[in-house]
Amino acid sequence: DTEVTQTPKHLVMGMTNKKSLKCEQHMGHRAMYWYKQKAKKPPELMFVYSYEKLSINESVPSRFSPECPNSSLLNLHLHALQPEDSALYLCASSRAPYRPGDTEAFFGQGTRLTVV
């Protein structure tokens, strides 16, 4: 199994809603990532979890709240988003965050989020 599975694939939410994005991998990877990608742009890192601990938060607004319940799961909780938060949200995982060859990242298909 070399897949990273993200659900849902599409999400439309209002600015007062609370929703969650889910990401799952069963490759035994110990680093997991959330990226945000706007149209025609490269992905931008939001968060890194290393061995289930939050290691990097790229100054992301608090309306985005990550959670790593175990080594296979990564969630992104959304609350009071703005229309400019509409984007493709990508989850990725890698074997480990430190050694060459271990940082190869496998990406999920993404969640296309629209905030109305």
Residues near other proteins (CB under 8 A): 4, 6, 31, 33, 35, 40-43, 45, 48, 50, 55-56, 90, 92, 94, 96-110
Task: Determine contact, residues 27/87, Cβ cutoff 8 Å.
Answer: no
Q: How far is the CB of 32 from other proteins (least distance, A)?
A: 10
CA nearest neighbour of 20 among 61, 75, 69, 73: 75
Q: How far is the CB of 29 from other proteins (least distance, A)?
A: 10
| Position 91, amino acid | C
Token pair 């990097």: residue: 56
Q: Which is nearer to other proteins, 3 or 82 (CB)?
A: 3
Measured distance CA(107)–CA(105) in Å, rounded: 6
Q: Which is nearer to other proteins, 69 or 100 (CB)?
A: 100
Q: Which is nearer to other proteins, 63 or 112 (CB)?
A: 112
